[in-house]
Amino acid sequence: MLKKSLIIIIAILVVDQILKFWIKTNMHLGEEIHMLGSWFIIHFTENEGMAFGFKFAGDYGKLALSIFRIIAIAAIGYYLWSLIKREENKTFIISIAVIFAGALGNMIDSAFYGLIFSSSNYHEVARFMPEGGGYTPFLYGKVVDMFYFPIIQTNYPEWFPLLSGQRFIFFRPVFNIADSAITVGVTLLIISQWTSLFKKKAAASA
């Protein structure tokens, strides 16, 4: 499973980073490409490092988040290695590998993008390896997000408490391939554990 896990991790990282590099160097902040009408949009935005566009307040919060994520990624990597050595359930190993790849993909943005890119704004595209250096120090970079699926766009009905008449969009968060990998990995993890539990119960009752 070591070879298969490495292939999965490298494949996710390569696709994730190629797309992010392209977005960063070809689109200005807030620019959109409508892929399938109004419900599948490539929308370039950046966030401070949390999944699906959520932010962590302040410079110290950003640094604390980056350090925490490095520790978490190292722990996940060690856990993955131990699972492979013990030859655990293949689906379980793959789910952890996918989560690891997703977490590492976003960490690459946070750690290095501020060093290798100029700042993106609403009027010009970022430059790769600018002469004056990047837009922020190590571990302070922003994560590139681009997938936006506003499948349902409507208003809350007048009778709806507190939100009467306000705009409702589903799905609102903008995310990237790394975020998707984490979601898929967690889903596989739940399925793997549920299936294992079901088999144990079936064996016990046989």
Dihedral sign, CA of 57, 60, 63, 68? Answer: negative
**13 vs 66: CA distance, rounded Å:** 18
Here the tokens at position 152 are 């349902």
- Choice among 16, 59, 109, 145 that is catalytic: 145
145 is catalytic: yes
Amino acid identity for residue 179 in this structure: D
59 is catalytic: no
**156 vs 165: CA distance, rounded Å:** 5
For 157, other C-beta atoms within 10 Å of its C-beta total 10
- Choice among 16, 59, 109, 179 that is catalytic: 179
DSSP for residue 129 = S
CA atoms within 13 Å, Cβ hemisphere of 3:
0
- Residue 27: which residues within 8 A CB-CB, separation 6 or more? 33, 42, 44, 125
**What SS3 class is residue 105?**
helix
**CB-based contact 45:122 (threshold 8 Å):** no
Phi first, then psi: what are they for 36, rounded to 5°?
-135, 85
Catalytic residues: 145, 179
